[in-house]
Amino acid sequence: MNPNKSKNCVDDNNRIEGKYRKDNPNYHYYEIINEICPKFINGCTREKIFNIMISQIQYVVPTINAEPVTQGKEVILFFGNLINISFDAKNYSIVNHTLPGHIFYPGKVTRTVVDLENTIAIKTVGEGIGNWKWLNVYIGPLIFSGIDMNLASKVRFILSLAKSNNSRVSLS
How do residues 136-145 score in pLDDT, each as one tens digit? 999 999 999 9
Residue 9 lies in a domain: no
Residue 15 lies in a domain: no
Residue 18 lies in a domain: no
Per-residue pLDDT reduced to its tens digit, 79-137:
889 999 999 999 999 999 999 999 999 999 999 999 999 999 999 999 999 989 999 99
Residue 126 lies in a domain: yes
Domain ranges, residue 60: 28-164
Q: How confident is the model at residue 19, as a pLDDT?
A: 77
Give the pTM: 0.85
Per-residue pLDDT reduced to its tens digit, 28-42:
999 999 999 999 999
* Number of domain units in the chain: 1
Residue 14 lies in a domain: no
Of 120, 155, 153, 95, the residue nearest 33 (C-alpha): 120
Distance CA 169, CA 172 (A): 9
Residue 7 lies in a domain: no
